[in-house]
Structure 1
Amino acid sequence: MKILVFGHSGQVATELRALDGDDVQITALARAHADLTDPAACAAAINAHAPDAVINAAAYTAVDKAESDAETAQLINAEAPAAMAHACAARDIPFVSISTDYVFSGAGDTPWTPADPADPQSVYGRTKRDGEVAIVKTGGRYAVLRTSWVVSAHGHNFVKTMLRLGAEREALTIVADQIGGPTGAAEIAQACVIIAKALESGSEKSGIYHFSGAPDTSWADFARAIFDAAEIACDVADIPSSDYPTPAKRPLNSRLDCTTTEAAFGISRPDWRESLTHILTQLDFPKD
């Protein structure tokens, strides 16, 4: 199966490139080869490469910056995926696009299901929601895969930030009232390929799905787990989100109900503690 990936150096795109082999041939497009601020160019790339499936692992993920750069975020997160979905529908090939828990309000403490109404509270969330709506409207073979708290040994993410800060300081204050499922980029990449293969046979499984690590936890408890696993002596003190204001509102409830994903594709929630162990091994932690 020849899969064209939008994205190259991001966390999930990097893990998708690592899956390239005899069974799946991955072609990942860097920004120089696919400018997501030019939706027509994205569609043209699909037609030029003529893949068997497309995975969109690229996005405008600077959540706070998006608040003052809404036009660019809209192009990359909504209009570009719409163009990709239309091109895939025209070629009758699967299209898998990664989305986010930020499409929800973040209220309550019940895990969000794919059927729950979107109510984004930030520009980033609104643009990702708009992308989802546009993809669904194409009517092709598609899957929108919402995920949360992506971590890996690559790029910028919470695990790498904690490892750096934990080595520099004796104590940190970490938000404890935001709850979600840390999710390994490697596991997301594997899920995307499984879903793309499943959609090869038809569009009956097209839809919006959730995929996040288990068990749900807070950022503060996740930080403690990182320090314990990496054998770093750094104390963590819990604080509320109100003590750490940001331009974009973060959802307090990022829990995702992933039961329909397991039912449709046989993909269960990965244990983020196992993902963390793998990431730390790649980063050579704990240090000797």
Structure 2
Amino acid sequence: MHHTGYQPDTAVLIGAGNAIDGPLQKGLQRVGFRVQLLGLEQIAAAPLGIREGSLVINAASCAGSARMHEARAVCEALRNQPCAALLHLSSYGVFGRARSRKIDEETAPEPSSEIGRHWLDCERILTGSSPAEYGVSILRLGWQVDRSERALLARVIRGLLNHKPVTLDDVSRGNPVTVADLVRVAVAMAQQLASGAPKSGIYHYGAADNCSAMEFGREVVDRVRSLYGEDYAADLRPVEPAPEDRSSVLSCERLRDVFGIQQRSWRQGLTRQVELWLERLQKAES
């Protein structure tokens, strides 16, 4: 086997049990890691069997609100593991209030929802008050648009297929993250963590261009029509009355400065994501 030069060259991926797991595993394997994929159930029910000195990527918190207890159990189990580096995927949801400026890594988290408190609890279980003390890298991601059938991309496409209205927020803004872009960033961080990059820190990642859910929905409709013709009629409706502005746009300069990872537009690769979700939902509903 060709040696990659990574130290370690084994990556333990703790999955979320959704659309993130497969692409993350393949992305890590593609660049030369040997990957051990562990499910939430395996870790929550038994002691961890992670080999000392492994690189760990923890996507457990991305499993959603229904699996909060298991994700916390995973973080508890990871806290004392002798791994070479730990990359924990977190979320912009740790910031709960509307903000007029971009949110950088120095901004104090202040979640206002149950799921936001869950994200923050998981971070604190792993790091206490200091990521450097525990050797943990935290990657807070912008709003994930396509990881599950309840995510925005699937909601819009399902509305198109079923000729039903979709109600979307046209006030709050964020910088979305697709699964493909999440994988790109996480894999690039893993490569560098296994090649001498700093083993701790808090980083943010979201698309280079921000948008509201309504703007995203309109773009999806345009992609569907470009692929399958103008017969697809969309009924996208703004939330009434207009909701409170809960914009959360992440500043991503630290990730660029430390890892050299550049932001991309959420529009890149969107057509392919639309194709995949159309195929998936059409099969499910046929």
TM-score, normalised on structure 1?
A: 0.80
Spell out the pairing of 1:129-278 with structure 2 (5 A cutoff): 129-137=120-128, 139-152=133-146, 155-169=149-163, 171-202=165-196, 204=198, 206-231=200-225, 232-239=232-239, 252-278=246-272
Partner of 2:117: 126
Residues matched between the structures, number: 262
Query: 1:127–1:32: structure 2 CA closer, same or farther, 3 Å change rule?
Result: closer
Letter of the structure 2 residue corresponding to residue 25 of structure 1 = R
CA distance in 1 between counterparts of 2:277 and 2:96 reads 34
Among 40, 43, 50, the residue aligned to 1:46: 50
Among 17, 23, 31, the residue aligned to 1:15: 23
Unaligned runs of 5+ in 1: 66-71, 244-249
* 2:12 maps to 1:4: yes
CA distance in 1 between counterparts of 2:42 and 2:87 reads 19
State the shift of 1:79 in Å.
Answer: 4.4
State the shift of 1:209 in Å.
Answer: 0.5
Partner of 1:98: 89
Among 109, 113, 116, the residue aligned to 2:104: 113
CA distance in 2 between counterparts of 1:156 and 1:108 reads 26
Query: 1:51–1:169: structure 2 CA closer, same or farther, 3 Å change rule?
Result: farther
Whether the 8 Å contact between 2:40 and 2:74 is mirrored in structure 1 is: no
Percent sequence identity is 22
Choose 195-204 or 10-19, whichever is displaced more. Answer: 195-204
Whether the 8 Å contact between 2:172 and 2:247 is mirrored in structure 1 is: yes
SS at match of 1:34: helix
State the shift of 1:207 in Å.
Answer: 0.6
SS at match of 1:151: coil
Letter of the structure 1 residue corresponding to residue 22 of structure 2 = T
Question: How big is each residue's C-alpha offset from its partner over 1:81-108, in whole Å with a ceiling of 9 and x where there is no partner?
Answer: 2431420xx24x1101111111012322
CA distance in 2 between counterparts of 1:210 and 1:140 reads 19
CA distance in 2 between counterparts of 1:104 and 1:132 reads 13
Query: 1:202–1:215: structure 2 CA closer, same or farther, 3 Å change rule?
Result: same
Partner of 1:56: 58
Letter of the structure 2 residue corresponding to residue 81 of structure 1 = C
Query: 1:251–1:192: structure 2 CA closer, same or farther, 3 Å change rule?
Result: farther
Query: 1:257–1:213: structure 2 CA closer, same or farther, 3 Å change rule?
Result: same
TM-score, normalised on structure 2?
A: 0.80
CA distance in 2 between counterparts of 1:112 and 1:251 reads 15
SS at match of 2:261: coil
Unaligned runs of 5+ in 2: 1-8, 226-231
CA distance in 2 between counterparts of 1:79 and 1:9 reads 15
Partner of 1:29: 38
State the shift of 1:242 in Å.
Answer: 6.0
Letter of the structure 2 residue corresponding to residue 54 of structure 1 = V
RMSD, aligned CA: 2.8
Letter of the structure 1 residue corresponding to residue 251 of structure 2 = D
